[in-house]
Amino acid sequence: MKKIINQPENVVDEMLKGIVAAHPSYVKRVEGFEILVRANSPQPKVALVSGGGSGHEPSHGGFVGKGMLDGAVAGAVFTSPTPDQVFEAVKAVNGGKGVLLVVKNYTGDIMNFEMAAEMAAEEGIQVEHVVVNDDVAVEDSTWTTGRRGIAGTVLVHKIAGAKAEAGGDLQEVKRVAEKVITNVKSMGMALTTCTVPAAGKPSFVLPENEVEIGMGIHGEPGTHREVIRSANEIVDHLLDKILADLNLAGGDEVAVLVNGLGGTPIMELYIANLRVASVLEEKGVTIAKTYVGNYMTSLDMEGFSISVLKLDAELKGLLLAAADTPGLVQN
């Protein structure tokens, strides 16, 4: 294993310190915890907290900032943060208007974030939560009942964060987040697996000429393995599954996220995006916003995912609202 690390047991702590060292005007760390919050927290508005296991950077700490998250909780690599950690994040960002927890649909995350919400309620803090389940690949998986939450979560952060920044109350912010969850669908593929630092070896092995279709962001199995095909053929397969769930019609508007998994050249992501744009154009669907890059990764995995969000006037306005975070590339 080749990793640019010191000791495997220190990777999360040193990563968070490195983020703060690079972006002190954006984020600060909650002392004693694996939590990043806005440098000027708490704010007098609804606060958003998300998080999960580390290894998905820039999610989630990279999206702490104006117009997105107020706090991000970092568990160990691919491991849910504890309820105590989430609770501390809630307390650190609570500005008196309530806190919305954005949780990806993994069993450990749901359990621990819900426990933290109960702990906060006992302290008199108003907390709601939403569960993101955008992955159309599989219905149930290794760590999930129902569909997994993957890169579409970033669009939930963006739009719900914009609503909170605009002064929406807790129920309004939750409603908008749930609307995004209903209308965003994603699916991914991998050319290689990833290597967890503490394990020191790949989580599984793919033959040189095969890819995994529909895998999860922790290296969970997908729908099947197949011999690698062209970029266009791979995109078509993923989009067919996504669009079957969205029921788009000519004249609809969407946002597109072509997300790298950590080890994929940006060149290849843009090639994939070209096919996405072409297919949607053929269907008469307008793309209002495109994101291409690494937004929710899987350590050093080579591969990508596609997320498509069906927009209405409300969602489009919030998506295009100004935001400023270390990990968000605006174009």
The residue type found at 114 is E
Query: Do 65 and 328 meet the contact criterion of CB atoms below 8 Å apart?
Result: yes
Token pair in block for residue 230: 């062209």
The three-class DSSP label of residue 309 is: strand
H/E run at residue 281: helix 266-282
State the catalytic residues: 56, 218
Neighbours of 97 (CB within 10 A): 18
Rg of the chain over Cα atoms, rounded to whole angstroms, equals 19
Q: Which residues contact 248 (CB under 8 A, 6 or more apart)?
A: 254, 283, 285, 308, 310
- Residue recorded with tokens 């690949």: 137
Please give the order of strands across the beta sheet that includes 224-227.
224-227, 210-213, 184-190, 303-311, 253-260, 286-293
